[in-house]
Structure 1
Amino acid sequence: MSVQEVLQAALVEALAGLAVTRVFDAPPVRAARPYALVEEAWLADWSTKDMAGREGRFAVALFDTGERPARLRALAGAAEAAIEAMPRVLGEGWAIASLTLLRSRIARDGDARWTAMSEFRVRMLRSEY
């Protein structure tokens, strides 16, 4: 599995306990709100002299309905906590060296529709080739 697939699978698994209809790893064609979307990570080389490494940015989007985003605020907080608490060992030799929330935002997305976006930076090292 590629490092992209390993990271994506770990993120989807970390969010599995959220009170949403489903956690998607790609934009859905149709979905009932609230749902979560783990967007594809942008990865760059972060290797050391003797270990392969990647640094990347990824975002988790949450989509909900309602006149106010109260439920979405709670979901966004739960999603951020779940990602920060995910296991550091991802599999295939990859492990998280650091994981940082960069920014988050909730915005109106039409009538009675809301979107929350949380963006993270991750740095990973591979202990075996």
Structure 2
Amino acid sequence: MSVRSLLQAALVTALSGAPEVGGTVTGVFDAPPPRAAWPFVLVEETVLADWGAKDIAGREGRVLVLAEDSGERPVRVRALCDAIRDALSDMPRDLGEGWRIVTVQPLKSRVVRAGRERWTGSVEARVRLLRLN
């Protein structure tokens, strides 16, 4: 399995297992759900770049997680963004197949109106990974 697939699966698992995230949304998805009810969380495709050294493989990635919700005010989506940021920082480090997360750094988050009574919150983080064997 590719490191991208391992990371994507770990992100979905970590967010689904976090009570403040997985326990408050209808689902955590790795692709846009065609018929999900609000609120839900979407883990966008991770962008990876080489971050290795001469004798060790490594990748640096940008992770983008979206929280989608409806309502007159973005109160719930703001709380979801905070919970997502915490869940990313607390996620397990071992991905399998020798890959390990060495750092997770939340970079930025924001909430925007995505339509009438619809909100999108985004959390972006930098993830650095090394293949240890």
TM-score strictly above 0.5? yes
- Shift of residue 97, structure 1, vs aligned partner: 1.4
Aligned length: 128
CA distance in 2, matches of 1:15, 1:98: 17
Is 1:103 aligned with 2:103?
A: no
- Shift of residue 70, structure 1, vs aligned partner: 0.6
Name the residue aligned to 1:15: 15
Name the residue aligned to 1:71: 76
Is 1:6 aligned with 2:15?
A: no
Q: Give the AA of the match of 1:45.
A: D
Name the residue aligned to 2:51: 46
Identify unmatched segments of 5+ residues in structure 1: none
Q: Give the AA of the match of 2:46.
A: A
- Shift of residue 98, structure 1, vs aligned partner: 1.2
- Shift of residue 6, structure 1, vs aligned partner: 0.4
Identify unmatched segments of 5+ residues in structure 2: none
CA distance in 2, matches of 1:4, 1:93: 13
- Shift of residue 88, structure 1, vs aligned partner: 1.3
State the TM-score, normalizing by the size of structure 2: 0.93
Q: Which has the higher helix share?
A: 2
2:30 pairs with 20, 25, 28, which one?
25
Identity of aligned residues (%): 58
State the TM-score, normalizing by the size of structure 1: 0.96
CA distance in 2, matches of 1:58, 1:87: 15
RMSD: 0.8
Moved segments of 4+, more than 6 Å: none
